[in-house]
């Protein structure tokens, strides 16, 4: 089982995530490439919130294909295109992870397609 790391010798997390996560040495790792708000049929969600939801839906589908789920996520790397989306990103991450804490990094910058509002990549580890 992955374990959140805490210390009073470094700043605490700024929102609902772990400052570090330890995965057992015998874990199987899956690295999920950045997912955007595009459905498997190629449709881009119309709203920023819809794009966030679709990106997470894509991530969970990929993890499921690897026999993993949200509780195996060790790290999330999120990218949003506008500072105004930071609160939405955090809200959606927390809703989609359902209380699961993992390491998290968030960047605000441009993406490969100007219509994309968010891109999310994860790393997951599962003992076994």
pLDDT digits (tens, 9 = 90+) for 26-57: 999 999 999 999 999 999 999 999 999 999 99
Pick the CATH number of 13-127 from 3.30.1330.40, 1.10.230.10, 1.20.59.10, 3.40.50.1370: 3.30.1330.40
How distant, in Å, are the alpha carbons of 1, 26, 72, 86, 122 from that of 40? 31, 33, 23, 26, 18
The pLDDT value recorded for residue 62 is 98
Task: Give which of 19, 119, 16, 121 is closest to 63, Cα–Cα.
Answer: 121
- Convert the pLDDT of each residue in 57-87 to its tens digit: 999 999 999 999 999 999 999 999 999 999 9
pLDDT interval class at 118 (50, 70, 90): very high
Name the residue ranges covered by the structural domains of the chain: 13-127
């Amino acid at each position: 089982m992955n374990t959140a790391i805490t210390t009073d010798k470094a700043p605490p997390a700024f929102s609902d995530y772990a400052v570090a996560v330890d995965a057992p040495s015998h874990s199987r790792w899956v690295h999920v490439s950045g997912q955007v708000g595009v459905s498997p049929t190629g449709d881009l969600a119309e709203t920023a919130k819809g794009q966030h939801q679709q990106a997470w839906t894509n991530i969970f589908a990929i993890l499921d294909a690897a026999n993993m789920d949200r509780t195996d996520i060790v790290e999330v790397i999120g990218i949003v295109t506008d500072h105004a989306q930071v609160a939405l990103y955090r809200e959606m991450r927390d809703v989609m992870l359902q209380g699961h804490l993992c390491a998290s990094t968030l960047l605000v910058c441009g993406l490969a397609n100007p219509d994309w509002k968010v891109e999310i990549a994860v790393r997951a580890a599962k003992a076994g």
